């Protein structure tokens, strides 16, 4: 028996007139993974005694109407990925064809059962996020699925094309859609989106200058003393770090942000769980949102990819044998770059074929950490309360970790992470032991 039954699939077009033409994509858009980013939002059932069926909890008509209104301001998401006729460069064709909306139901799951079972993986993505087409022109850019559970709860699953949005832009869209659904800002979003990707164009000669090496955008050298692992083979987990544990960890890592302190501990425990050779190199990859770091800063509502990959590399022994504060300092070194670094990267990408950039995975010795901590769950309230959980529906390969605000627990952190199946049990034990030690330090 299928765990989720699809009831309807339709195209939702903008509720009003929108611009046509095309939108140029920057080198950072082209360097992003060409594919869809699947996310899920879990909502507990709330009826509020609604008399009008269209005001009931996630009523199909209300969801469709609010989405159509949101697509007026965010009209590129109603378009299709396209190609510039002259250069063959990816662009957004503002066709107004619409976003895909799927309605579904599951008589198998109640919300609490699903939350206890859920980990980001292919099965969960396939159940609660719409099936996506090949991510090449002329594909849709936004697909959404509303699945009503046995208990009346709802899962909202989204797939947004990564060539046109990063996590910050995706959150901007969801927050606007939710605000419209709540009855706020019907005519315009609180923060207007900016689609001028030329703000991240490469500099003209002679100002163009590649001042940094940018190894994150080059193929990894063959690992030494590290057993290779299939990129598609991983075990995933959701782990919560309490407010008390976060405070103790930050006290160990004086001056470090929550993200850097937590990632430092994950890095240390992952190196131990993987039983890596002490002299092997381990690299911590991260992503930096450059919107506020450029000179001048990008508009607050810049809608596109404005993140750059960075990394720090050390030996396994340095990570494992040093206090966790050492890893936090290395994480800070990997996430402190500014305008000159971003401009150097954009100029570098102008010189390479962005289709051949490494995107398929990382070595078993490495870790890729991404912060979603700026994404407020309360802003994803569609009128029936904030989500009980929000996170990725899928991990792309082993060695990924997302750091997020834990829902309903002020100051706590939720980790969504993936490791090799043989490393995950030892990681969970090692990480739990470290968290227990933190508990007694506060």
Write the CA distances from 199 to 43, 217, 296, integer angstroms: 37, 21, 10
Active-site choice (29, 93, 161, 162) = 162
Q: Are strands 367-371 and 400-405 parallel, antiparallel or unpaired?
A: parallel
Distance between CA atoms of residues 254 and 289, nearest Å: 23
Distance between CA atoms of residues 262 and 317, nearest Å: 19
Give the CA diameter of the chain: 67
Distance between CA atoms of residues 270 and 266, nearest Å: 6
Write the CA distances from 3 to 56, 106, 124, integer angstroms: 24, 6, 10
Of 193, 138, 189, 195, the closest CA to residue 161 belongs to: 138
Task: Tell me, yes or no, if 366 is annotated catalytic.
Answer: no
Task: Tell me, yes or no, if 213 is annotated catalytic.
Answer: no
Residues near 156 by Cβ (< 8 Å), separated by ≥ 6?
A: 40, 41, 43, 58, 144, 145, 146, 147, 382, 387
Of 322, 236, 333, the closest CA to residue 288 belongs to: 333
- Write the burial class of residue 368 (CB in 10 Å: 0-12 exposed, 13-18 middle, 19+ buried): buried
DSSP 242-283: -HHHHHHHHHHSTT--HHHHHHHHHHHHHHHHTT--TTSEEE
Q: Are 415 and 436 in contact (CB under 8 A)?
A: no
Distance between CA atoms of residues 12 and 28, nearest Å: 28
Q: Is 96 helix (H, G, I), strand (E, B) or coil?
A: coil
Q: Is 70 helix (H, G, I), strand (E, B) or coil?
A: helix
Distance between CA atoms of residues 245 and 262, nearest Å: 10
Active-site choice (112, 201, 381, 422) = 381
Cα 291-292-295 angle, rounded to 5 deg: 95
Cα dihedral sign, 283-289-290-293: negative
Cα 56-45-38 angle, rounded to 5 deg: 100
- Write the burial class of residue 275 (CB in 10 Å: 0-12 exposed, 13-18 middle, 19+ buried): exposed
Q: Which residues are catalytic?
A: 162, 381
């Amino acid at each position: 028996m299928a765990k989720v039954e699809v009831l309807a699939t339709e195209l939702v077009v903008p509720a009003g007139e929108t611009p046509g033409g095309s939108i140029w994509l920057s080198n950072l858009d082209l360097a992003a993974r060409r594919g869809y980013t699947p996310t899920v939002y879990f909502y507990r059932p709330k009826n509020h005694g609604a008399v009008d069926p269209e005001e009931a909890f996630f009523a199909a008509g209300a969801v469709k109407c609010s989405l159509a209104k949101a697509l007026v301001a965010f009209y590129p998401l109603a378009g299709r990925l396209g190609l510039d006729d002259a250069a063959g460069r990816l662009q957004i064709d503002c066709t107004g064809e619409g976003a895909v909306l799927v309605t579904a139901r599951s008589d198998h799951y109640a919300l609490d059962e699903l939350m206890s079972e859920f980990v980001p993986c292919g099965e969960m993505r396939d159940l609660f996020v719409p099936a996506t087409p090949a991510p090449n022109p002329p594909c849709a850019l936004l697909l959404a699925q509303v699945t009503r559970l046995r208990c009346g709860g709802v899962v909202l699953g989204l797939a947004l094309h990564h060539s046109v949005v990063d996590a910050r832009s995706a959150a901007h869209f969801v927050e606007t859609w939710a605000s419209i659904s709540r009855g706020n800002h019907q005519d315009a979003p609180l923060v207007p989106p900016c689609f001028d990707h030329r703000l991240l164009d490469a500099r003209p000669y002679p100002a163009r200058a590649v001042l940094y090496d940018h190894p994150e955008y080059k193929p990894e050298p063959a690992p030494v003393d590290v057993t290779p692992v299939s990129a598609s083979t991983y075990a995933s987990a959701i782990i919560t770090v309490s407010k008390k544990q976060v405070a103790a960890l930050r006290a160990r890592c004086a001056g470090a942000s929550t993200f850097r302190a937590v990632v430092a501990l994950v890095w240390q425990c992952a190196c131990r769980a993987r039983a890596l050779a002490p002299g092997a190199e381990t690299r911590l990859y991260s992503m930096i949102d450059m919107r506020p770091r450029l000179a001048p800063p990008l508009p607050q509502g810049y809608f596109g990819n404005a993140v750059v990959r960075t990394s720090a590399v050390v030996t396994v022994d340095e990570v494992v044998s040093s206090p966790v504060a050492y890893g936090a300092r290395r994480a800070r070194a990997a996430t402190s770059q500014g305008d000159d670094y971003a401009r150097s990267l954009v100029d570098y990408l102008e010189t390479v074929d962005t289709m051949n950039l490494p995107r398929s995975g990382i070595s078993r010795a490495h870790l890729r950490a991404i912060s979603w901590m700026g994404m407020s769950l309360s802003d994803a309230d569609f009128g029936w309360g904030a989500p009980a959980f929000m996170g990725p529906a899928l991990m792309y390969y082993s060695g990924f970790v997302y750091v997020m605000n834990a829902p309903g627990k002020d100051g706590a952190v939720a980790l969504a992470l993936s490791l090799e199946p043989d490393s995950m049990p030892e990681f969970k034990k090692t990480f739990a032991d470290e968290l227990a030690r933190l508990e007694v330090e506060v």
